């Protein structure tokens, strides 16, 4: 490499270093700029030029503290209502157990109340059928009771190998995430009274 080229590269390197040094502010310059920016933002806020912030969803709503019903932890919730309708469910920051936090199930509790896809009618499809039919609740309750009794009477065992068991293995019960503690307890009691041994409750289904 020629001496002229070496001198040129060295000169370019010195210029880059000097440029970077000029761009790097000193501690005094940094604090001065920070103070100036803070004062400017404060002046804009006081003059009514503050940036627009969207209103809170719960503004003007009635907030009621309650306890999440979905498990035994008992996390605190704040239910916000407006015109008699639940508009938001969040964690209660003043609750001694959860301190404002909720699991995914508790945070999505509003979907149990407000959900356009929630079924509100009984839909029945005949065996090997292709269409769903709307039925009344009375029809569904009577049919379920009749089928449970018929199956239990046919399969109920009082003893097995000389031991008293009083059970049926032909019926199973599966709970779901929409059941709260007050609903899950009597459901389990009813199933045990019928003699079911296959009883499961999955909180995430």
pLDDT tens digits, 34-83: 666 565 555 555 555 555 556 667 777 889 999 888 877 889 999 999 98
The pLDDT of 3-10, averaged and rounded, is 50
Q: Is the pTM of this model over 0.95?
A: no
Assess contact for 109 and 86: CB atoms under 8 A: no
Which range (74-83, 91-100, 176-185) has the least confidence? 176-185
Higher pLDDT, 166 or 34: 166
Whether domain 62-113 has CATH 3.40.50.720: the reply is no
Residue 167 bridge partners (DSSP): 157
* Helix then strand then coil, % of the chain, to nearest 5: 40, 25, 35
Assess contact for 106 and 88: CB atoms under 8 A: no
pLDDT of residue 33: 63
């Amino acid at each position: 490499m020629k001496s002229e080229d070496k001198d040129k590269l060295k000169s370019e390197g010195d210029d880059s270093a000097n440029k970077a040094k000029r761009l790097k502010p000193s501690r005094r310059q940094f604090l001065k700029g920070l103070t100036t920016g803070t004062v400017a933002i404060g002046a804009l806020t006081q003059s009514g030029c503050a940036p627009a912030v969207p209103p809170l969803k719960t503004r003007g709503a009635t907030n009621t503290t309650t306890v999440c019903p979905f498990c035994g932890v008992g996390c605190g919730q704040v239910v916000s209502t407006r015109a008699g309708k639940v508009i938001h469910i969040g964690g209660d920051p003043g609750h001694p157990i959860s301190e404002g936090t909720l699991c995914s199930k508790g945070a999505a509790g509003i979907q149990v109340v407000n959900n356009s896809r929630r079924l509100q009618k009984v839909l029945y499809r005949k065996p090997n059928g292709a269409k769903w039919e709307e039925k009344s609740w009375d029809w569904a309750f009577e049919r379920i009771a009749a089928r449970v009794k018929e199956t239990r009477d046919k399969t109920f065992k009082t003893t097995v190998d000389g031991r008293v068991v009083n059970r049926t293995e032909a019926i199973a019960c599966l709970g779901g995430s929409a059941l709260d503690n007050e609903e899950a307890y009597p459901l389990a009691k009813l199933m045990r009274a019928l003699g079911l041994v296959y009883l499961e409750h999955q909180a995430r289904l």
